[in-house]
Amino acid sequence: MSVAGGLLPVAAAVALLVFAVRLTHEPRRLGNAVWLGIALLLLGLWLLRLDWLTPVLLVVLGGVALVLPVALLVNGIRMWRREGRSTGNLLSLALGAGLIALEALFFAPLGRWGSAVVAIAAALACYFGFLFFSLLVYSVVYSRIGRRGGVDAIIVLGCGLAGDRVPPLLAGRLERAIRLYTRESTPPLLVVSGGRGPDEQVTEAEAMAAYLRERGVPADRIRREEQARTTEENLRFSAELLPAGARRVVAVTSNYHVFRAAVECRRLHLPYHATGSPTARYFLPSALLREFAALILHYRRTTIAASALIVGAGIALAVSA
């Protein structure tokens, strides 16, 4: 066994230990996802030492390179047709087209500097792909360990109305909140949060409160927060409506939005956790990409620094070649 081969499992174990300690101390930290990703990456590199696994990995990577861009394009077209042409709904379409273009450039005669640009773009794609994978895996982990019972209050985050009606996505959040509510021996408060959009006839909070009353939730257990337009405002304004003793609080959102909501709770110094409701499968790719973009933009300094380091290293290698 080589020295590098012997160090890989040790490094993976150390990264996993750091992840476990951080997870126990504070599960809502974005860095937890990175440490988990590093541990999995090191473990994967160690497993590559197995001779039989190398061809399997090559087949899997080749399949992903062929299938993923096409799947993203198909999903993007479906989102375009069903959800409209907003920027967020076109993310999977744009990413699919970008990956196809990048893969095609690998086979084009570009010269030294052209090849360097493609290599830098590929390195950036690998970096952001690693972050996306890490966040995706950790989001699943977090959704399994968040608070599920013993709550004083439940905050339901709004996500838009269809006129004055609660659409399926928001109904899923409300049904999840109702399940949490009925599970408690002492009924918690339900705070419905959301203002009125330009094409909405009532506030999101008003529509959500009506939905909850129709489903049997007593009006005196419902509080409406009718000003919020962002996740931050949902949480901050809702916190102001809760009694001072309400510490065990859960924010209910869609499953793709759970971890970002939890990160936002931590940033606002709110001791809340988040839980999610199911989302239609066709909606998930663009929704997950939108959440990922929001997180890396929130930590834009780190993103810019890492990207600049990759670009600088690529240019330096091209100059020295």
**Domain map (residue ranges) of the chain:** 1-50, 68-145+280-321, 148-279
User: pLDDT tens digits for 211-262?
Assistant: 999 999 999 999 999 999 999 999 999 999 998 888 899 999 999 999 999 9
Can you give the chain as a three-state secondary structure string? CCHHHHHHHHHHHHHHHHHHHHHHHCCCCHHHHHHHHHHHHHHHHHHCCCCCHHHHHHHHHHHHHHHHHHHHHHHHHHHHHHHCCCCHHHHHHHHHHHHHHHHHHCCCCCHHHHHHHHHHHHHHHHHHHHHHHHHHHHHHHHHHHCCCCCCCEEEEECCCCECCECCHHHHHHHHHHHHHHHHCCCCCEEEEECCCCCCCCCCHHHHHHHHHHHCCCCHHHEEEECCCCCHHHHHHHHHCCCCCCCCCEEEEEEHHHHHHHHHHHHHCCCCCEEEEECCCHHHHHHHHHHHHHHHHHHCHHHHHHHHHHHHHHHHHHHHHC
For the full predicted model, state whether its pTM sits above 0.85.
yes
CATH code, residues 148-279:
3.40.50.620
User: pLDDT tens digits for 47-104?
Assistant: 887 777 778 888 888 888 889 999 999 999 999 888 877 777 889 999 999 999 998 9
